[in-house]
């Protein structure tokens, strides 16, 4: 019996080792130029593919899915978040959706901790001072920031990444607090010496640093809005390595520019890749280009999970990272 390889179309360039393995296993069409598909290219891809491998920047909306041919059976997304896919329509059409959880946890937590350090300690401002030749030497009052040891960190979303952030924060002497839909296991809470707040508003009002680690869903859109930013202490900082839509960016700009809060560290933005020009002008913000998971090891691990999900599905089994309705 001859094995027929499924038609797989990949929307972005992936690590060489992953692309090579995909070519070996599947009838695979790669994107070698590493430029995002145009809408027309995406429409063409879904009309021909049996399995589509998009990334988190590819918007797979109703119109795209309606244009898909009957052969499209699976969307094996290269990334953890699935808010770029119209899941309800995909489910209605019987399309299996998978993602790549777990493998980005440590990398994203590392970047979160880097931002937690860089904003209060003014690392980017200091680096710029040296590069621009404006540093005149050490001074008792030069480039003063704030220590993080002993401060209260409030984590919004105590999932895999939030928990990994808490582990790192504890090592830096931060007091760990969190808000989550459900309280974490007692042994985890005890190990992290973490305090649970059922009220998000009350937690925000008591924290020195906020870390956004919840996914973007309809329920979390603009979760940190103008009203909640007003609750923050004037010396407090906010860090976001989750999704830009969780913060009302306009309200954040206002809070930063008017001194309502001390600073922010952002790896994600509400209208990526566009960044609010008002944010760029502020010196109390560290801005990164959505690189929280950008490690060689992480990208290879993501690709391996995509391959496992596809191969498992093609072999007639339920993919290990299948996204189910209860996740939304």
SS3 75: strand
243 a catalytic residue: yes
Q: Which residue's structure tokens are 């582990």?
A: 167
How far is Cα 282 from Cα 262, in angstroms, rounded to an integer? 11
The single residue of 21, 290, 299, 305 carrying the catalytic annotation is 290
84 a catalytic residue: no
Nearest of 163, 286, 147, 159 to residue 214 by alpha carbon: 159
The single residue of 12, 243, 299, 305 carrying the catalytic annotation is 243
How far is Cα 30 from Cα 32, in angstroms, rounded to an integer? 6
SS3 151: coil
Nearest of 241, 245, 242, 243 to residue 265 by alpha carbon: 241
The single residue of 19, 29, 125, 272 carrying the catalytic annotation is 272
How far is Cα 118 from Cα 257, in angstroms, rounded to an integer? 19
290 a catalytic residue: yes
Question: Starting from the edge strand earliest in sequence, which strands make up the sheet with 7-10, in order?
Answer: 27-29, 7-10, 51-53, 74-76, 96-98
In three state form, how does the secondary structure of 220-232 look?
CCCCECHHHHHHC
Active site residues: 243, 272, 290
């Amino acid at each position: 019996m001859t094995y027929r390889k499924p038609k797989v179309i990949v929307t972005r360039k992936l690590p060489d080792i992953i692309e090579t393995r995909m070519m070996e296993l599947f009838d695979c069409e790669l994107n070698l130029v590493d430029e995002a598909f145009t809408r027309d290219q995406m429409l063409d891809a879904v009309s021909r593919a049996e399995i589509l491998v998009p990334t988190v920047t590819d918007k797979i909306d109703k119109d795209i899915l309606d244009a898909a041919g009957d052969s499209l059976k699976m969307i094996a997304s290269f990334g953890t978040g699935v808010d770029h896919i119209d899941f309800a329509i995909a489910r209605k059409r019987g399309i299996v959706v998978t993602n790549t959880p777990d493998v980005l946890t440590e990398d994203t937590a590392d970047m979160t901790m880097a931002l937690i350090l860089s904003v209060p300690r003014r690392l980017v401002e200091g680096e710029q001072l040296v590069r621009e030749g404006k540093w005149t030497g050490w001074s008792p009052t030069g480039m003063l920031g704030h220590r993080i040891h002993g401060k209260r960190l409030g984590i919004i979303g105590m999932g895999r990444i939030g928990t990994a952030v808490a582990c790192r924060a504890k090592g830096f002497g931060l007091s760990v607090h969190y808000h989550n839909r459900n309280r974490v296991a007692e042994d985890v809470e005890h190990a992290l010496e973490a305090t649970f707040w059922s009220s998000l508003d009350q937690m925000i009002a008591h924290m020195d640093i906020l870390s956004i680690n919840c996914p973007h869903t309809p329920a979390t859109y603009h979760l940190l809005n103008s009203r909640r930013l007003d609750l923050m202490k004037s010396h407090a900082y906010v860090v976001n390595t989750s999704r830009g839509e969780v913060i009302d960016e306009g309200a954040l700009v206002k809070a930063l520019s008017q001194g309502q809060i001390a600073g922010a560290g952002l790896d994600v933005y509400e209208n990526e890749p566009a960044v609010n020009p008002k944010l760029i002008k502020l010196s109390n913000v560290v801005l990164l280009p959505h690189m929280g998971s950008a490690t060689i090891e992480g990208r290879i691990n993501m690709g391996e999970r995509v391959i496992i999900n596809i191969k498992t599905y093609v072999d007639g089994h339920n993919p290990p990272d299948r996204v189910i309705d209860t996740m939304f």
